[in-house]
Every structure is written in C-alpha cells, then in structure tokens.
Amino acid sequence: MEAIRNALDFSDFPKTDLGVALAVLVFLFCFPFFPHSAFAMATMIQFFIFSLYGMGWNTIGGYGGQVDLGKAQYVGIGAYTTMVCLLRWDIPFWVSMPIGAGLSICWSFIIGYPLFKLKGHYFAIATIATSLVLKDLFEVWKFVGAARGLGILPYKYHPPDFWRLIFKEDVYYYYIIFAFFIVGLLYMNWFRKSRLGYQLRSIKDNEEVARSLGVNVHWAKIKTYAIATAFVSVVGSFHAVYVKNIEPEDTMSLDISILIALMAMLGGAGSLWGPVIGAGVLIPLKSYLKEWLGAAAGLLGIDLIIYGIIIMIISAFEPRGLWGIIEKIRRRRRI
C-alpha cells in the first residue's frame, strides 16, 4: 500500500511542473482525436517507446551513474522472444512479453555480474561489446531468421486482436503504449524515492560512502540493471508486434543503444521527467530530419551527426541535460 501511495505522490514537485505534466498528459490522451497524419501518429508511438526505453536506462544510467550503452540487446531479446513465440507456437503477446522480460533479466544477470566489476568508461565499452556480440549471434542464428529477421503476416490474424496485439489501425497501439507509459512513469516515481533509488544515488555520489552505509554496491547495480532491462525488454516486445518486421540491425544495433542513452542524457539523467523530455525533443527531430533531409538529400547519416553534437554539448555544458538547465535557472531565481 505504501508503495502505491509513494508511486502516486508527486508532492515534491512544484505546482507549475505538475500543471505542465498534466497538460501534456491530456494532450497525449486526446492526440488521436485531433486530425493527424499517419506519420505523426507513428512518431508519437516512437516517442512513447523511446520514453520508456529512456526511463529504463535512467534507473541504472541516470540514478546509478553507470553509463550503459548496450540496452539494444534487450530490445532484441524482448522483440525476438515475442516474435518467435507468436510465429512458432502462436503464443500471444501478454504471455510472451513476460517470458521475454524473464529471459532478458536472466541474460542481464549473466553479463551484469562480471560487467559491474568494471567502472566508468570500461563498463560502457563492455556493455557495447556484449550488445554487439549478441547482435552478431542473432545475425547467423537460423532459428530466429538470421540477418533477414522475422515478420508477421497480419492477414493471418483477425485484427483487432487484443490477445496477440495485432491491429490494423495505429490508434490501438497508441493507447496500449500510452498505458505502458503511465505505468512506467508511476513506477519510476516510486523507484526514485525507494530504498534502491536512494542507494543508487549514493553509489553515484561516492561508492565508498555507500558501502559504509550498508549498501551492497555490486548487488544494487545488478538489481537495477535487471529493472532497466525489464523495462527495455517489455517495450521491445511491443515494438515487435507494432512494426511486425524485425531484424537484428534495427532492433539491436549500436544506434539504438546510443539513442536510448541519449533520451535520458539530453532530457536529464537522474530525473523523473528527463527521459520524457529527451524523447519529446529527439524523436520528432529524428523522424522529421529523416523525412525532410535524409531521404531527400541522401544524407542518411545526418541524424547521427546531430546526436554526436548533442552529446558533446551536454557533456561540455550541462551534464544533467535539459532538466538540469531548468533546475539551474530556478535555483538562480530563488537566490
């Protein structure tokens, strides 16, 4: 009960923040009722997906300060589990999603145990490496379609299929991922004020101090990594049924891992709203840049260049991202 109360307790935020948040939520809820293009709809769904990825990343990367650049491997595990379960055994989404999360968590324990013996940049590099290795394995693994991947043929089912999550209209996906988004946000609101949340922030401040306060640093990191993983994997499962066509390159590539980290880092690592703000800025930017510049001018790499510039600007000026800038301004006003 206390957990639920804490999840719903936003009282430590100023009223203006909550007002803005509420207005955004109302807008998001009403969005499908406004006239919109299919492209805008797809962008909104991507926004939710990446907000959730970012929230997951934010647990270990933001609150815990462990820069993880290998989250795509769990997108892959989630997506492939759901896809394989559906295609081979006709296991519906709501069953395959927890299976995928379970597999992801198992894998996160296996690699998390040795990985968290590493610190700083070494940890970041190791996460990239494990993710790339897994991607390469999937590219040659015939059972999961190797490099060509797997695809759902929607006409085999009778949409709307709420059990398998096969729909013709995007609006169904929109409200399902919107519900995930709300749950994710409430979970994060609980998490940041939980024992583990505080312990992680203490680890980020100073590991020695954390240890002296009874925090099992290694185990706390592994646990949090598993939470981050579960988030990413669940949304990966959703991604699979939503795009209906997955291959290692577009679920497990380094681009995805970096983009996930970037959501929270741009928006504000270690803050509740950070990943949402980050996704709100980056996803439309990414979609529309690709639409306007990329395809037209043959400049497909330009979004990557922009991400690179964003990373440099954040790390040089405000490591705590856009939210950090907002808080800085507020602090100055108060003084």
Q: Which is nearer to other proteins, 84 or 264 (CB)?
A: 264
Residues of this chain, 212-231, that bind other proteins according to CB under 8 A: 212-217
Q: Which is nearer to other proteins, 139 or 327 (CB)?
A: 327
Rg (CA), the chain: 20
Q: Which is nearer to other proteins, 210 or 260 (CB)?
A: 210
CB 268 within 8 A of CB 274: yes
Residues of this chain, 193-212, that bind other proteins according to CB under 8 A: 193-195, 198-199, 201-202, 204-206, 208-212
Residues 309-328 vs other proteins: string with x where CB under 8 A? Answer: -----------x--------
Burial category of 191 from C-beta neighbours within 10 Å (exposed 0-12, middle 13-18, buried 19 and up): buried
> At its nearest, how many Å lie between other proteins and the CB of residue 210?
7
Residues of this chain, 100-159, that bind other proteins according to CB under 8 A: none
Total of residues contacting other proteins (CB under 8 A): 24
Residues of this chain, 5-64, that bind other proteins according to CB under 8 A: 6
Residues of this chain, 251-270, that bind other proteins according to CB under 8 A: 270
CB 70 within 8 A of CB 253: no
Q: Which is nearer to other proteins, 158 or 331 (CB)?
A: 331
> At its nearest, how many Å lie between other proteins and the CB of residue 186?
15
> At its nearest, how many Å lie between other proteins and the CB of residue 117?
14
Q: Which is nearer to other proteins, 2 or 89 (CB)?
A: 2
> At its nearest, how many Å lie between other proteins and the CB of residue 328?
12
What is the dihedral angle through the alpha carbons of 54, 56, 60, 64, rounded to the nearest 10 degrees?
Answer: 70
- Spell out the residues 6+ positions from residue 121 whose beta carbon is closer than 8 angstroms to its own: 67
> At its nearest, how many Å lie between other proteins and the CB of residue 277?
17
Sheet strands (E) in the chain? 150-151, 245-246
Instruction: Please list, residue by residue across 104-114, b when 16 or more beta carbons sit within 10 angstroms of its beta carbon and e when fewer do.
Output: bbebbeebbee
Which 3-state string (H, E, C) describes 252-293? HCHHHHHHHHHHHHHHCCCCCCHHHHHHHHHHHHHHHHHHHH
What is the longest distance spanned by two Cα atoms in the chain?
A: 64
Return residues touching other proteins (CB under 8 A): 2, 6, 193-195, 198-199, 201-202, 204-206, 208-217, 270, 320
